Amino acid sequence: MSTQKKYSKTKLAQFKKSIEAKLNSVANEMDDIKETLDTNTRGNSSMVQDSVYSVHMADAGTDSYEREKGFHFMNRESDYYKYLVFALQRIEDGSFGICKICDDLIPEERMSEVPNATKCVQCKEKEKLNLA
């Protein structure tokens, strides 16, 4: 496919800067989610202690669902954060942007949109279709 096997140092520096910005953004989002979870958990526990009858069963179910959704978002953001850290490690060890299946250079457009990508689009599609 591609004749080039690695990105230039300039491109890698651009990718690194972009990934670091995304890391900061994800960290801020995780802080916001954590703060929301802490606030919701504290608020609900104090309501339950005031009176057993003050909380309707449907409201308690909604609160529980919202907490679960918050934990799901937190897990998702945490995983994304780890993948971005791994992308920075790949920049340092020289394997960033190289498909781990076919060893071709992953197009710059894909790496800009999905900086944690480790496979080119063709290999990823084959993997999803269980053809690889």
pLDDT in tens, 19-33: 999 999 999 999 998
pTM reported for the whole predicted model:
0.77
- Determine contact, residues 111/117, Cβ cutoff 8 Å: yes
Structural domain count, the chain: 1
Cα separation of 75 and 16, whole Å? 24
Please classify residue 37 by burial: count the beta carbons closer than 10 Å to its beta carbon, then call 0-12 exposed, 13-18 middle and 19+ buried. middle
Residue 1 located in a structural domain: no
Percent of the chain with pLDDT over 70: 84
Q: Does residue 4 sit within a domain?
A: no
Q: 48: domain CATH number? A: 1.20.120.910
What residues make up the domain containing 58? 9-128
Determine, yes or no, domain membership for 102: yes
